[in-house]
Amino acid sequence: MSRFLGLVLFLLNVADLCNGGVTSSFVRKVEKTIDMPLDSDVFEVPPGYNAPQQVHITQGDDVGMGVIVSWVTMEEPGSNTLLYWIANTKLIRKARAKITTYKFYNYTSGYIHHCTINDLEPDTKYYYEVGLGHSPRTFWFVTPPAVGPDVPYTFGLIGDLGQSYDSNVTLTHYEQNPTKGKTVLFVGDLSYADQYPDHDNRRWDTWGRFVERSAAYQPWIWTAGNHEIDFVPEIGETKPFKPYTHRYHTPYRRSNSTAPFWYSIKRASAYIIVLSSYSAYGKYTPQFKWLEKELPKVNRSETPWLIVLMHAPWYNSYNYHYMEGETMRVMYEPWFVQYKVDLVFAGHVHAYERSERVSNIAYNIVNGICSPISDQSAPVYITIGDGGNLEGLATNMTDPQPKYSAFREASFGHATLDIKNRTHAYYAWHRNQDGYAVEADRMWFSNRYWHQGEDSTT
């Protein structure tokens, strides 16, 4: 018995020394991540003269009863009229798009159309048709249920996608996941066109055609990452985010934001706040003042789940981009704890990590208290920058694993968040190497406002 007790004490001491959570034992085979060539079938241009391409949708209002539909025509502007109708009905409505173009160094874009459809019915399947007069194409989407506290809804989560062979596997895994996501929360870094000489904007076009197979049928909620900045003064490009803002619109004005990089939406039982890691966020900046007013507006009796999207993670135990989010954390983390944010999703680090519920808000310069501590009013921070882009995986982790880190793994993948009701949501992360239904990391989350139970994994 004494030998048994000794073994138990030894194991407890080892666990105490390790401090952190789980570093996955799964080791992905080391392979170079390569972009798919321009003639890959996933980049195929749709047939027909001036056929619409790069079709994608996002939420167009504050509650999900509006949709922004975007598409590109290459040969000429073509029709700016969009037709839409409820499935199995004959009443066809019309809406008109605004058309824009841009130049980037030696590249000239196609004709980019953005059309907002408003006053849709909840939980309803709609068809829409674009490209009238030449080569029309038809797609569909389903509106979310009306906003309410116990409305179930499933989100997909993807970040740092790019357009490599691994990116294609990630998107396929998301599409084939039996837990069907209805809306993608995308945490930034889209095309990685800036990794090519002169930020080759043809790679924005190929990326738009690549994701169309998902983004034309369900909204992708956009977050701007560092690869969207496209600031290249040496070739005369001094306006940040030019390709991104021309191609990917957001409903930022509906939440009284002054820029498309930070905004909020309601969807089913979730209130989603999108922040910009690469816009000014210090005190008195527009983003700071907006968030200061936005958080008190969240009615947790209407939308219990408070979710934040950003690009640069605040809690990160990889030796990549370490502490890049620290200044934003210092500014905003006390608000996240005060208003009981449930979950924060970020990208940037090309790997996966889930934190414990921790905060690091006690430090006030003179007290020396500057370590994250367990805090059940704090969010869980999830890094999901593992979409599969050409820069490859972040494989170098800090050792020992810090106490705030619950689970981490250097693999490509995606996640789903299945909100059940106002108190519970089921979360799962799926690595690309597994079958579509396999969950490499999973967690039941308790709502911080309605059911602040302990949901730590350690």
Of 321, 348, 350, 414, catalytic: 321
Amino acid (one-letter) located at 176: Q
Rounded Cα gap, residues 299 and 302, in angstroms: 5
Identify whether the C-beta of residue 173 lies closer than 8 Å to the C-beta of residue 414: yes
What is the token pair recorded at 192?
Answer: 């990685």
Q: Is 134 among the residues known to form the active site?
A: no
Rg (CA), the chain: 22
Q: From residue 66, how far is each of 10, 19, 199, 254 by CA, in Å?
A: 59, 47, 33, 11
Count, residues in the chain: 458
- The answer for residues whose C-beta is within 8 angstroms of residue 89's C-beta and 6 or more apart is none
Rounded Cα gap, residues 378 and 146, in angstroms: 28
Identify whether the C-beta of residue 132 lies closer than 8 Å to the C-beta of residue 79: yes
Number of helical H runs and strand E runs in the chain: 6, 26
Give bridge partners of residue 192 from the DSSP assignment: none
Amino acid (one-letter) located at 447: N
Amino acid (one-letter) located at 328: M
The pair phi, psi for residue 397, each rounded to 5°, is -105, 155
Can you state the angle between helices 165-176 and 202-215, rounded to 10 degrees? Answer: 20
Amino acid (one-letter) located at 312: A
Element spanning 254, H or E: none
β 352-355/343-346 pair status: unpaired
- DSSP string over 295-353: GGG--TTT--EEEEE-SS-SS--BSSSTTTTHHHHHHHHHHHHHTT--EEEE-SSSSEE
Catalytic residues: 321
